[in-house]
Amino acid sequence: RKEVEQDPGPFNVPEGATVAFNCTYSNSASQSFFWYRQDCRKEPKLLMSVYSSGNEDGRFTAQLNRASQYISLLIRDSKLSDSATYLCVVTPNDYKLSFGAGTTVTVRA
């Protein structure tokens, strides 16, 4: 079983829509969780950390469910510029990040 699993999508949504997707992780000892964003042919960049109580950054909301071992990302009022691949990242130990294969979101005009 992969350490981190994501629905690859693609999620095709119109501008202004809300889109949400999850990621599951296998190691219950994982302590830190992140969403990274990767544009086509570019490097990944941190979008936001995910805290136990859930957190919001503008139009982006992240949630963590430790009991079911998943994290989620919700994007409200989607913009064309939100089109990207969103990588779920989990830290199973102090030394490394485990990346999911990414969920592709395409926002259309």
Interface with another protein (CB under 8 A): 31-32, 34, 38, 42-46, 49, 85, 87, 91, 93-99, 101-102
**Minimum CB–partner distance for residue 37 and another protein (Å):** 11
**Residue closer to another protein, measured from CB, 12 or 49:** 49
**Residue closer to another protein, measured from CB, 35 or 107:** 35
Q: How far apart are the first and last CA of the chain?
A: 38
- C-alpha–C-alpha distance, residues 97 and 33, integer Å: 9
- Whether the CB-CB separation of 76 and 18 falls below 8 Å is answered with yes
**Minimum CB–partner distance for residue 19 and another protein (Å):** 19
Task: Tell me the sheet residues that pair with 46.
Answer: 36
**Minimum CB–partner distance for residue 89 and another protein (Å):** 9
Q: Residues 12-27, buried b or exposed e (16+ Cβ, 10 A)? A: ebeeeeebebbbbbee
**Minimum CB–partner distance for residue 44 and another protein (Å):** 5
* Residue 16 falls in which region: left (phi positive, over 0), alpha (psi -120 to 50) or beta: left
**Residue closer to another protein, measured from CB, 22 or 76:** 22
**Residue closer to another protein, measured from CB, 18 or 52:** 52
